Structure formats: structure tokens, C-alpha cells
């Protein structure tokens, strides 16, 4: 039977070398023959070198791969050394060893054979997590890749696909997965009841073999919804003891459980505010219940008023996360990690970096990214997010520390997964690069985007220079193009309401979500400077000054921070209105060029991949033209200013 899913970058094909000798794997000391590292090495070597005889431990073999576990390394670290005669992979634990095996395999494939390697790697971030927004009924919130492969009709599914999933994650170093939606609905409320323990235990055990901890999104009001208590007040001793008992039962029943992910007081989810408590009270209560088992609470900072009045220009959603959490710095227990979205609003194609990263100096934090392309083309448009993630991690907060970048401040990163049960996992093959790249960046953030993509292309599609060059061009230019033909200069939210696909410049203008562009006939943008909502003041100087004035604010964020007339001259020398017109035309042209390049790859890609890409590019071009014409018409009609170049603006 044909597999129902692609193996993605783990589709090991024979190497194009002549090796007729014998191969041996030698397991030293504590390395168990049945651990994932050894099984992965066998899988890889027998596929890459199918003609070679593979044995265990034979000293006479012409190439020997020695596996070892060394006490002096961190548990997830590995060292890798290799030459023409063999390789030694040393892990700090079986997990570190597994990462070393994947790195070694990657090297064999990208180098096209045995080479010299000498390297020691420790993951930059201890927590490297994927957050699934999968619902118990099998649907996925903001899922663009089919249905859930974890759940169907309230049941937890474990299949060979689950094993391949674990291998994919481990191969890029992801070590945690929250399997259910942060909006905990339907049967998911009951995941923390005995009904689900047996399956959760199987899943947790399976994932743990590949170094991945299982996380569950939980309902903050579970003491009521599950426990039947009258309250979920975090300071109520009955609530505290309910969670303690629940934690004891859960951690006893489910192997590999890492802890909880919580969305509280956000978009209708229950939280501590209902009882007049704050988010430290809420998070710490849960953290104390699971602390004895080494559990962690990943607590989201996506807290804002989603019932705002659009007439109110003083309340600013961008300030909400900061105002909620900055005053609580230092109050969170050690096993709480605050998960902060990369920007202060919500995963737009361009936002400033969240000011909480700089200010939470005494709290464990993790950055949250969204691989699911909710606002970035829904996996119908190509939009490679790797350069964006790199930019955010490298962002200097100026918070007075010697090491002051986002990467220096966080101890983890999480990404909303873009996966589903589609054949290629991510709906679009090109979206697979985001999943791959996210994991690689959490492990080795200094890797250039181009190198990560180069690696992903080689592993996924094989070594073909022309193919690589074209795909790199498409992927590396894709975010720019998307940004250019959609929303200008950091403005955000000109999409259609609810599903967030396609243009609707006033779709969110008179709504309750706090997402306004304030466009009128003279000007556009939100004044978030000191004379406006004051958001720019939440950054440390010099950023607060830079962002606070239209003279210094970088062009790409201008309309996020400032309200400026259409005749305002940008740093590029163009007027704002002309920039809007030009970038929309240019972005569409870039997308057309990507589609042309893709079509030229017919024959170099598997047919199914090629056809799927063609369909998606067709849709991207259709939608990009809509964006261009509607956004340009919108600003043209409001401003009455013609295009200098005389193009048709409708």
C-alpha cells in the first residue's frame, strides 16, 4: 500500500558513491542497541548505502560508526568526528546521541558521502517546542494542511504516522510538543481524565523515545469543568488541592508528560481574572501542582481586551501584554515559562518585536512564532519565515545586559505548528521549510537562513544545483514579496475577518479586536508615540526614541508606530502613497517571477510536488492581484492622489 504521507526530509535515498566495503556500528558503554539513536542510524545507513554489509561491532569493517554516551556533555549535546575510515558520535545522553546521529546523516547526504567532520554542538535553547492547535474532533484551528493526525472524533490516534512525526521533530531537535489547541474545547477538556490516560501514556512514551516531552493544553477552569468544584480560584485551597491530586494522577499515569500549556484570560478562555487574581497567581498555582514531577507550565502572554470600542483611540492592544506581565516580573516560579508572541499584536507579516522580551529579566520566557500561516498566506502563498525568525532572535532589546538580544533573554521557543494529515504534512511542500527551519534555528540560531534552506532542499529534493538555486531564490524572497503586495509598512490586519485570507482594508476597522489602521483621506497609521498611545515608550532607549518619531522610525514599521500623511517622504525618498502603489505592483511581479521559476522546474521535482506547487502558485497570483488592486484602490480613493507612473488604480 502507498504510504499516506511523505517522509519529507527523512526520505533517505542511496548515496551516489561506490562503497563496497563493510560497515559496522559499535555501541560503547551505556548505549542500548534498541534506543532511537541506534535504530535511526541503522535506518539511515541501510538506505544510504544499500549495497554495504552492515554489522554490529566488527573490528574488521572498513568503516565503523562508534556510538558513545559521555558524562561531561549536557544531555542534549553531542560531538561528532569523522574521517574516511569511520565516525564517532558522542551524546550527553541517548537524546544527545540521537541528535548526533541525525547530524551525521545530514552531513552524509549533503556532502554526498563520507567526509571529515569535527564538531561539538549544544542546543542554544533548552525548550524547543511545537504547539498544535488540534481539536479533539479532528479539526485544527488555523490549520491549512488538512485534519489532525492526533485526534479524530474525540479519540487519540497513534499510528506509524505518529512515529514518523516524532522522527521528523527529533531530526531537527524539537523536544516538546503540545498536542491540543490552547482553546480547550469539546472532549479536549477531558484529556486530563482517566478516559485518556492509556492512550496519552502510549503517546508520551513514543515521543519520549525520540527525546520529545508531551504537553497538554489545559482548561484553567478544569476544577469546575472536570472536577465539579464551584470555583477555579487559584488561591482557593480546594482548587489547589484538586490540581495537586490531578497532577499526581496524571504524572503517574502518563509517561513522558512535560507539563501544561495555558491560554488564560484571553479571547474567552477562563483565567485568574475572574477571581480578582493576577497571572502570577494563576501560573504559580499550576506550577506548584506539577513541580514535584519536574513538570513545567508554559503560560501564554497573549492577554488583551478583545471587546474594544473602535471609537476609543487611547486603548492600545499593543500595550496589553506588556502592561499585564511586566509588573509581575520576578513573581513567577522557576517552572513557569512565559510564552510571548514574537510581536505585540498577533503574528502579522511585520510587527515590532514584543517589548516583553527585554523587560522580563527575572522570569523564564519563550518566544512564540506561528508556522501555521494564518496571516501570511495560509500555505497557499509561499512565505518562508526563517529570515523573520532569525531577525527576531537577533533583535537587541537594549535592556542594559551585556547580552541583550531576544535570544539571550529567552530559554525557549515555541511555534504554532503548520502540520496536518495532508500527504506532505504542511499542505504545501514549500511550507515544510518553515517546520524544518524552526527546529534548526532553535538548536543552532547562528546558522544563516540560506544554509538551513540549502540543507532542507538537499535532504528533501536531492542534490540538483539548478533546483536549489531557484528554490532558494523563491524562499528567500517570499516574505518580502508577501509583505509588499499585502499590507504596507507594519499596518497589519487588512485581511478579511474571521478566516483572515485575502484583502479587506476596513474588515477590522470598526470591530472590537483592537486592530485599526485609522486610514482617512489625509493620513494613515496609528500614533503609538509619546503623544499617542505611548506604546513606543515600552522599549528601552534608544529604541523608544527611534520608534517614537516618524523621522527616525524605520520605514518597514512606520505605520505601526506613527500616523503620517500620504505625502510623507520615507527614508527611501518616496512618498508614502507612492511607496504603497509601487510595492503592491512590485510584490505581485515578484510572485509572478516565483511562479515562473517554479514552472521551469517541471521534471526536476516529483510530479505530485510540482503539480501541488503549480496549483498553489496559481492561487497566490490570483490573491496577490486582489491584494494589489484592492489596497491600491482603497488608498487611491481615500487620498485622491494619482500614481506617478500612471498605472491603473481602479
Contact set with ligand GCW (CB under 6 A): 133, 141-142, 182-183, 263, 267, 302, 346, 374
Distance, CA of 336 to CA of 365 (rounded, Å):
8
- For 296, 447, 505, 627, the CA distances from 496, given in Å and listed in that order, are 37, 36, 8, 11
* Beta strands 564-565 and 523-524, pairing class: antiparallel
Decide whether 495 or 588 has the Cβ nearer to ligand GCW: 495
Distance, CA of 451 to CA of 457 (rounded, Å):
10
CB of 179 vs ligand GCW, minimal distance in Å: 14
CB of 341 vs ligand GCW, minimal distance in Å: 7
Decide whether 164 or 263 has the Cβ nearer to ligand GCW: 263
Distance, CA of 41 to CA of 63 (rounded, Å):
14
Decide whether 106 or 317 has the Cβ nearer to ligand GCW: 317
Distance, CA of 214 to CA of 200 (rounded, Å):
9
Decide whether 195 or 267 has the Cβ nearer to ligand GCW: 267
Own/partner contacts of 218-221, CB < 8 Å, gap of 24 or more, are 218/184, 218/191, 218/192, 218/260, 218/261, 218/262, 218/286, 219/184, 219/188, 219/189, 219/269, 219/270, 220/262, 220/264, 220/269, 220/270, 220/271, 220/272, 220/282, 221/270
316 dihedral zone (left: phi>0; alpha: psi -120 to 50; beta): beta
CB of 415 vs ligand GCW, minimal distance in Å: 12
Residues 6 or more apart in contact with residue 52 via CB below 8 angstroms: 19, 20, 21, 22, 23, 45, 63
> Residue 113: exposed, middle, or buried by beta-carbon count in 10 A (0-12, 13-18, 19+)?
middle
* Cell numbers given for 274: 475572574
Distance, CA of 320 to CA of 344 (rounded, Å):
8
Decide whether 263 or 568 has the Cβ nearer to ligand GCW: 263
Residues 6 or more apart in contact with residue 243 via CB below 8 angstroms: 222, 223, 285, 286, 289
CB of 55 vs ligand GCW, minimal distance in Å: 50
Residue 219 catalytic? no
CA 244 to chain centroid: 31
Residue 527 backbone phi and psi in degrees, to 5? -80, 100
CB of 370 vs ligand GCW, minimal distance in Å: 8
Residue 346 catalytic? yes
Decide whether 182 or 543 has the Cβ nearer to ligand GCW: 182
Q: Which residue is nearest to ligand GCW (CB)?
A: 346
Cell 575510515 -> residue: 85
Decide whether 117 or 264 has the Cβ nearer to ligand GCW: 264
Decide whether 174 or 345 has the Cβ nearer to ligand GCW: 345
Given the residues 77, 278, 346, 421, the one annotated as active site: 346
Decide whether 79 or 486 has the Cβ nearer to ligand GCW: 486
CB of 128 vs ligand GCW, minimal distance in Å: 19
CB of 358 vs ligand GCW, minimal distance in Å: 22
Decide whether 114 or 302 has the Cβ nearer to ligand GCW: 302
Decide whether 348 or 583 has the Cβ nearer to ligand GCW: 348
Selection from 104, 103, 33, 19 nearest residue 63 by Cα:
19
- Number of alpha carbons in the 13 Å side-chain half-sphere of residue 348: 24
CB of 424 vs ligand GCW, minimal distance in Å: 23
CB of 376 vs ligand GCW, minimal distance in Å: 12
Strands of 53-56's sheet in order across: 53-56, 22-27, 63-69, 86-91, 78-82, 117-121
Selection from 41, 92, 35 nearest residue 65 by Cα:
41
Distance, CA of 502 to CA of 463 (rounded, Å):
36
Given the residues 201, 233, 374, 504, the one annotated as active site: 374
CB of 113 vs ligand GCW, minimal distance in Å: 45
Q: Say whether 497 sits in a helix, a strand or coil.
A: coil
Residues 6 or more apart in contact with residue 641 via CB below 8 angstroms: 566, 567, 577
Q: Say whether 140 sits in a helix, a strand or coil.
A: strand
Residue 403: other Cβ atoms inside 10 A: 8
- For 48, 347, 457, the CA distances from 465, given in Å and listed in that order, are 20, 34, 10
Given the residues 83, 84, 267, 451, the one annotated as active site: 267
* Cell numbers given for 472: 532558494
Q: Are 63 and 114 in contact (CB under 8 A)?
A: yes
Residues 6 or more apart in contact with residue 81 via CB below 8 angstroms: 87, 88, 117, 118, 119
Decide whether 187 or 374 has the Cβ nearer to ligand GCW: 374
Active site residues: 267, 346, 374
Amino acid at each position: 500500500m502507498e504510504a499516506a504521507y511523505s517522509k519529507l526530509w527523512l526520505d533517505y535515498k542511496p548515496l551516489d558513491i561506490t562503497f563496497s566495503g563493510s560497515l559496522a556500528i559499535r555501541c560503547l558503554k551505556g548505549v542500548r542497541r534498541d534506543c532511537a539513536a541506534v535504530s535511526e542510524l541503522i535506518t539511515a545507513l541501510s538506505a544510504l548505502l544499500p549495497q554495504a554489509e552492515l554489522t554490529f561491532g566488527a573490528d574488521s569493517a572498513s568503516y565503523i560508526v562508534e556510538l558513545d554516551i559521555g558524562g561531561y556533555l549536557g544531555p542534549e549535546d553531542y560531538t561528532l568526528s569523522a574521517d574516511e575510515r569511520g565516525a564517532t558520535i558522542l551524546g550527553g545522553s541517548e537524546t544527545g546521541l540521537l541528535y548526533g546521529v541525525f547530524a551525521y546523516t545530514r552531513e552524509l547526504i549533503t556532502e554526498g558521502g563520507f567526509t571529515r567532520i569535527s564538531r561539538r554542538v549544544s542546543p542554544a535553547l533548552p525548550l524547543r517546542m511545537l504547539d498544535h492547535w488540534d481539536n479533539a474532533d479532528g479539526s485544527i484551528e488555523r490549520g491549512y494542511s488538512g485534519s489532525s493526525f492526533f485526534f479524530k472524533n474525540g479519540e487519540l490516534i497513534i499510528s506509524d504516522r505518529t512515529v514518523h512525526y516524532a522522527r521528523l521533530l527529533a531530526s531537527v531537535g524539537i523536544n516538546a510538543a503540545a498536542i491540543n489547541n490552547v482553546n480547550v474545547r469539546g472532549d479536549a477538556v477531558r484529556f486530563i481524565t482517566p478516559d485518556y490516560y492509556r492512550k496519552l501514556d502510549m503517546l508520551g512514551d513514543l515521543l519520549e523515545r525520540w527525546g520529545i516531552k508531551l504537553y497538554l493544553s489545559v482548561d484553567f477552569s478544569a476544577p469546575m469543568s472536570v472536577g465539579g468544584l464551584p470555583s477555579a480560584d487559584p488561591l482557593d485551597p480546594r482548587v489547589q488541592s484538586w490540581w495537586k491530586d490531578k497532577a499526581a494522577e496524571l504524572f503517574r499515569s502518563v509517561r513522558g508528560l512535560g507539563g501544561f500549556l495555558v491560554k488564560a484570560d484571553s479571547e474567552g478562555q477562563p483565567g485568574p481574572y475572574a477571581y480578582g487574581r493576577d497571572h502570577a497567581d494563576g501560573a504559580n498555582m499550576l506550577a506548584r501542582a506539577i513541580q514535584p514531577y519536574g513538570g513545567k507550565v508554559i503560560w501564554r502572554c497573549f492577554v488583551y481586551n478583545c471587546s474594544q470600542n473602535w471609537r476609543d483611540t487611547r486603548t492600545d492592544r499593543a500595550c496589553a501584554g506588556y502592561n499585564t506581565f511586566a509588573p509581575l516580573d520576578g513573581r513567577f516560579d522557576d517552572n513557569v515559562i512565559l510564552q510571548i508572541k514574537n510581536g505585540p499584536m498577533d503574528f502579522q507579516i511585520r510587527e515590532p518585536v514584543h517589548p516583553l522580551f527585554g523587560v522580563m529579566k527575572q522570569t523564564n520566557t519563550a518566544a512564540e512564532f506561528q508556522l501555521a500561516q494564518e496571516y501570511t498566506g495560509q500555505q497557499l502563498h509561499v512565505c518562508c519565515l526563517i529570515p523573520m525568525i532569525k531577525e527576531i532572535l537577533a533583535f537587541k532589546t537594549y535592556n542594559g545586559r551585556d547580552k541583550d538580544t531576544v535570544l539571550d533573554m529567552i530559554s525557549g521557543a515555541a511555534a504554532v505548528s503548520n502540520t496536518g494529515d495532508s500527504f506532505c504534512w504542511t499542505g504545501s511542500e514549500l511550507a515544510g521549510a518553515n517546520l524544518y527551519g524552526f527546529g534548526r534555528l532553535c538548536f543552532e540560531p547562528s546558522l544563516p537562513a540560506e544554509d538551513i534552506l540549502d540543507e532542507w532542499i538537499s535532504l528533501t529534493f536531492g542534490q540538483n544545483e539548478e533546483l536549489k538555486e531557484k528554490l532558494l531564490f523563491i524562499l528567500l524572497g517570499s516574505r518580502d514579496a508577501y509583505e509588499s503586495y499585502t499590507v504596507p509598512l507594519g499596518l497589519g490586519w487588512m485581511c478579511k475577518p474571521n478566516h483572515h485570507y485575502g484583502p479587506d482594508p476596513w474588515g477590522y476597522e470598526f470591530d472590537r479586536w483592537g486592530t485599526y489602521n485609522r486610514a482617512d483621506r489625509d493620513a494613515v497609521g496609528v500614533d503609538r508615540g509619546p503623544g499617542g498611545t505611548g506604546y513606543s515608550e515600552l522599549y528601552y532607549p534608544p529604541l523608544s526614541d527611534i520608534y517614537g518619531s516618524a523621522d527616525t522610525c524605520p520605514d518597514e514599521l512606520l505605520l505601526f508606530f506613527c500616523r503620517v500623511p500620504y505625502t510623507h517622504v520615507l527614508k527611501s525618498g518616496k512618498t508614502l502613497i507612492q511607496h504603497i502603489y509601487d510595492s503592491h505592483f512590485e510584490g505581485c511581479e515578484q510572485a509572478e517571477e516565483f511562479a515562473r521559476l517554479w514552472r521551469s522546474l517541471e521534471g526536476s521535482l516529483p510530479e505530485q510536488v510540482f503539480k501541488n506547487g503549480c496549483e498553489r502558485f496559481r492561487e497566490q497570483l490570483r490573491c496577490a492581484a486582489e491584494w494589489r488592486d484592492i489596497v491600491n484602490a482603497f488608498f487611491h480613493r481615500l487620498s485622491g492622489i494619482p500614481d506617478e507612473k500612471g498605472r491603473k488604480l481602479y
